Structure 1
Amino acid sequence: MVIKYEPLNRRERIVRLFREAIEAENANDLETAKRKLDEILHESIDEEPEFYFEACFRLAEIFLQEDNYRGAVKCALRGIARAPNENLYRLGFKRLRDVFNIIRDSGKVDDLTRDTGSFFSHVGEDETLRAFVDAMVRAAKGEEIEVEFPIREMNEALSVLKEGP
C-alpha cells in the first residue's frame, strides 16, 4: 500500500504562499506579493484550480493598486478561463465587473483598447469568452454592443463598460 502525500504538501505550500502574499501586500511590498502569487499560479495551474482562480484575482487586485488596469483585466480573464466550475465562472464575472467599475471610475477605460490581442491570449479557445473579450474591447472603444451572453454575470460586467464614465 502506497500513500501519496504530495497533494497535501502542495496545498500546504500554496496556503503558506497565500499567507505570505497577503502579509507582503499588507506591508505594501507589492513586488513580493506578486512574486508569491505567481508561485501559487505555477503550483496550482493543473492540480488546484480553485487556488489558481483565487490567485489570479488577488493578483488583479494588486495590479489595480498599481494602476495597471490592463494587467488586472488580464489576470481576471485568466482566472475566469480556468474556473473549475460554473459557480466560480459566474463569480469571476462578478469580480471582473468590480474591476471594470474601478477602471471606469478612474477614467482609464481607454487602456483596454490598446494591444487587444494580449487579452485574447489569456482566454484560450473558449468561443464564448473570446466573444466576450471582443465585446469588451468594442465597448471600451465606445462602440455600440448588441450582443447578449448566455450568462447574466457576463452581461452585467459588460454593462459597466457600456455605461461610460
Structure 2
Amino acid sequence: MERAESSVGSRYLYAVMVYFFLWIVLTYPFSIHEWEAGTVIAFLGALLTYKQLSVSGMKNVMRLGVLLFWYLPVFTWEMIKANLHVASIVLNPKMPIKPGIVKIKTNLKSPVARVWLANSITLTPGTLSLDIDGQYLYIHWITVKAKDVEGASREIAGSFEKILEAMFK
C-alpha cells in the first residue's frame, strides 16, 4: 500500500518539476510574477495529469531535456556557420554556388530521430531536406562539397547525428 502511494507521490512530483521547468524555459523575461504563475500552473497541471504519467516516462522526459541542452548549442553553432557561409555567397559578386541534390545515409534507427535530423538540416541555411527513404535522406545543398554518400553525410549530418542518436535510443 505504501509503495502505491509513493508511486503516486513520485509521479506528481515529477510532473510538477517538469511542468515548472518547461514554464521557466518558455517564458521570458524572468520575473517573480512569472515564477509565481509557473508554480501555480505546474501544481495545477500536475494535479490534472499525473495519473497518466509514469515515473520511468518522466525520467526519459528529463533525459530528453538534458540532451536538448547538448543539442541546442550544436544546432546554434551550425546555424551561425551556415548563415555566415550563405551571407558570404550572397555578398560575393561571382556568386560561387554549386547547387545539387545529394544523398546522405544516417545510422539513426528511430523514424522520429530521422525527422529531427531532416528538420535540423532544413533549418540550417543552404540546405533543404527533400525526402527520407529509409536510412537515406535526399538534401538540396547550395554548395555541394562532397558527392559521395559518406562525405556528404559527414559534412551535412555529422554534428547532429551523434546527439540525436543519444536522444532517441
Per the TM superposition, whether the score is higher than 0.5 is: no
Relative contact order, higher structure (CA 8 A, sep 6+):
2
How does the TM-score come out when normalised to structure 2?
A: 0.33
The structure that has the greater radius of gyration is: 2
How does the TM-score come out when normalised to structure 1?
A: 0.33
